[in-house]
Amino acid sequence: MESIDLEVLKTCNEWIDDSRQCELVTVIKTWGSSPRPEGATMAIRDDGRVIGSVSGGCIEDDLIARVHSEGITRTRSEIVTYGITADEAHRFGLPCGGTIQLAIEPLSKRSRIDELLQRLNRHELVARRLDLLSDEVTLGPASAGMGLQISETALTTIHGPRWRLLIIGAGQLSRFLAQIALGMDYHVTVCDPREEYRDGWDVPGVQVVHAMPDDLVMEMKLDSRSAVVALTHDPKLDDLALMEALKSDAFYVGAIGSRSNNAKRRERLKEFDLTDAQLARLHGPIGLYIGSKTPSEIAISILAELTAVKNGVVLSDEVRVKAAKDAAQKKPTAPVCGIV
């Protein structure tokens, strides 16, 4: 699974190679409510085919209709705004009178999409600068904290995985977690020193490392855009790695396991030189309580919690696994056939 915006770039490159006229559309600014964030992209081809999204669908419909009636006629990039008036907001399905501003760029070989994809394939974080006067494109390195920048003369967009996820353990659950995380623009690394688990484990775009997890945690120099998820159930592999991760700036550190195993893990970690504040950062039992049973459901539960933490959402105890299961056990059982 790939992120939508990476899929857009790959499709653009295919259309350029096939000598098809096409345009790249990027959300550069929003006011009020907007279905898609700044930096979201879509592409449209000369026959009206689109990939990606910049709104809930109505703006896409308008762009498609224009291509069908007029073709692709732009010879240089243009800034277009939708939803200025209440009537337009209603027409284009923008909630609460929202407004969205788009950069529409006609693509060609000089757009350097192929070179951008090559750099992304090497897991580079790339700043793509489009000169809005000449349509000249330059590519350069970007830092994780950079975001989209727009001026009267240039548009700079950031491409590549700005978030990192280290998964400890190469089991079935790890496969689902890695696949979904890739689609969320994470650079995913799976670490497992056990050969029997690594053999045959292959998810395109995911790096599989044969190392002791705690060594890799220190080597990766985890920052505030990094997350660690331990899934082996083996204290020999998980505990030291969790200890190092909890000392780092990683925004999320979690471990799978039952409530009792999680309590035992916390007792073991107390024996290391962790502060109470560091230990409190450990998420476990991992994930949100959604009644998940299968590996794919558990992966969604984990990434839901991870995403909430990444976005600064404060979660109540009611949605956490431990509190939800504890509450369920305290509920009185209903009488059966009149017997209490």
**What pLDDT, in 10s, does the model give residues 57-103?**
788 999 999 999 999 999 999 999 987 666 666 666 665 557 889 99
Q: What is the 3-state secondary structure (H, E, C) of 98-114?
A: CEEEEEEEECCHHHCHH
Position 298 scores a pLDDT of 95
Q: What percent of the chain has pLDDT over 90?
A: 64
Give counts: helices (H), strands (E), the chain. Answer: 12, 15
Position 96 scores a pLDDT of 55
What span, in angstroms and rounded, lies between the C-alpha atoms of 187 and 190? 10
All residue ranges of the chain with pLDDT < 70 are: 1-2, 33-35, 84-97, 322-340
200, two tokens: 């045959």
Which residues, other chains included, contact 172 with Cβ-Cβ below 8 Å and sequence gap of 6+? 295
124, two tokens: 């580079």
Please name which of 213, 167, 222 lies closest in space to residue 193, comparing C-alpha atoms. 213
In contact, 76 and 104? CB cutoff 8 Å = no
Position 113 scores a pLDDT of 98
In contact, 51 and 72? CB cutoff 8 Å = no
Query: CA dihedral defined by 314, 240, 176, 173, rounded to 10 degrees?
Result: -110
Position 338 scores a pLDDT of 45
51, two tokens: 């990939």
Topology given in CATH for the domain delimited by 163-325: Rossmann fold (3.40.50)
**What pLDDT, in 10s, does the model give residues 171-192?**
999 999 999 999 888 999 999 9
Please name which of 169, 312, 208, 294 lies closest in space to residue 251, comparing C-alpha atoms. 312
Instruction: Provide the edge-to-edge strand list for the sheet that holds 99-106.
Output: 50-52, 41-45, 22-31, 99-106, 78-82
What span, in angstroms and rounded, lies between the C-alpha atoms of 243 and 140? 36
Give the residue extent of every domain in the chain: 4-112, 163-325
Position 339 scores a pLDDT of 44
Position 337 scores a pLDDT of 47
Across 309-324, b (16+ Cβ under 10 Å) vs e yields bbeeeeeeeeebbeeb
**Helices 4-17 & 113-121 angle (0-180, nearest 10):** 140
